[in-house]
Structure 1
């Protein structure tokens, strides 16, 4: 009976929406100034790990004239992302793809009850203890490409200034290595980074910092951070900016 409920698309969508709502309550709201991003003339946004379009929708309000390219590998959240994108007067392009450092077909660990935490990397026992809703998983084959490869067709058409957001649950270093050409054009990059070991083989802040620094992007602070009961930071959304 329980498995039949989990296989029901409506039930899964309701569960996903509920845990997204709870997550929003637990995560501090971003300051509307976005650590200075709001003052930039952002005209192109690339959303990697877009899920259902939560970040893209927020940026659409802040930068209504920007063109948005959104990547999401999982079929169910991608359907919602695509439906929203199709209503945005040709300002949003969506891609049903994972991004990494090579072209491949890979198994993604889809979290049935909360798709936003799904990852190409397995969850750790710590992750499953802290967030029990991630325990219900299924493996799905997805297509992986690289950011540089997928955006090559748009080179010369990307409007300045460029904002890139990467939210890929520990897979950030692979995405960066596969997107160095595009990231060299970026004015700003937002990444969700876990400081606790929530995914096996996840990259650390110390891995990400030099990769982006070598591309000319400098750490500029955190848009938010989630703190554990003992006071340490579990994960954060970091901003990297290209100096003028």
Structure 2
């Protein structure tokens, strides 16, 4: 399903929920507990609203992570946003594991830290990093990146996925291999990668990780956003296929084409495929 269709359905549900809450004198803000995790939610935001509705945000991805993450491991949440997966990952790695959560926008990073504060036991397992992962530390950081999906009618939203760009402000450009060098005793077991077209930027700074460690990737493949960033599925595949990776459908586990052109034909404009990339 295209993101525009998902957001459209969410907007209809949000209007109904908002009307009901208004009758009870309640605002869009709420502290909610979902699956034993506390969240500070703004129901006018798409991710927050999905968490509010029984934690249905990327439910299949949550199930996939539950199957793949090993207790005591180091996992990376690249594109952490408000922490919907970060907190779930912190629960999965257990007290001896660690989660590095990367988020470049000030808007989402504040919300991420707030949700971590509400869960002190899980917070101990998470290292939040306000940075933009790219090929070199000295590279400029984009001034704004999509990290908000409002459910109210607003102007200036992305034409296809209806997101809003938010300022990066104090975020610094970092190279992933250099960040991981600060944790020499920990080996990355899994990477959740969802950065709306900046995947190749991340991977340009992760050559050691890809060649030597070869962690599992749980990621979104969206050709149209890659093209908007001046990259492509072909470039994305160039970081994986030569290093022995194959792609699999997240939901059913079926093998996906190793040809970027063939996979691209499977994904309609404005849509994406949730995939697992792993070395066999």
TM-score if structure 2 supplies the norm length?
0.62
Match for residue 73 of structure 1 among 80, 104, 119: 104
Which residue number corresponds to residue 158 of structure 1?
186
1:24-173 residue pairs with structure 2 within 5 A? 29-30=59-60, 34=64, 38=67, 41=70, 43-65=73-95, 66-85=97-116, 87=120, 88=122, 90-103=124-137, 104-111=139-146, 113-114=148-149, 128-134=158-164, 140=169, 142-155=171-184, 157-159=185-187, 162-173=189-200
Distance 1:148 1:173 in 2: 14
Name the larger-Rg structure: 2
User: Would the aligned equivalents of 1:172 and 1:203 in 2 still touch at CA under 8 Å?
Assistant: no
Secondary structure in 2 matching 1:150 = helix
User: Would the aligned equivalents of 2:196 and 2:225 in 1 still touch at CA under 8 Å?
Assistant: no
Which residue number corresponds to residue 32 of structure 2?
none
Tell me which of the two structures has the higher relative contact order, counting C-alpha pairs closer than 8 angstroms and 6 or more residues apart.
1
Count how many residue pairs are aligned between Structure 1 and Structure 2: 213
Secondary structure in 1 matching 2:108 = helix
Secondary structure in 1 matching 2:143 = strand
Please list every run of 5 or more consecutive structure 2 residues that lacks an aligned counterpart in the other structure: 1-27, 30-39, 151-155, 253-266
**1:80-137 Cα deviation digits (max 9, x unpaired):** 323444522631111111101111332332458539xxxxxxxxx9x82234453x76
Please list every run of 5 or more consecutive structure 1 residues that lacks an aligned counterpart in the other structure: 1-9, 116-124, 225-230
Query: What's the C-alpha RMSD, in Å, of the aligned pairs?
Result: 3.6
**1:149-191 Cα deviation digits (max 9, x unpaired):** 1111112x214x6101221111111211101212331430122
Say which is worse superposed, 44-53 or 105-114, in terms of deviation.
105-114
Distance 1:193 1:17 in 2: 26
1:188-199 residue pairs with structure 2 within 5 A? 188-197=216-225
Secondary structure in 2 matching 1:56 = helix
Q: CA deviation at 1:215?
A: 2.7
Quickly say closer, same or farther: Cα 1:215–1:82, change in 2 above 3 A: farther
1:209 is the counterpart of 2:232? no
Which residue number corresponds to residue 4 of structure 1?
none
Which residue number corresponds to residue 228 of structure 1?
none
TM-score if structure 1 supplies the norm length?
0.70
Secondary structure in 2 matching 1:52 = coil
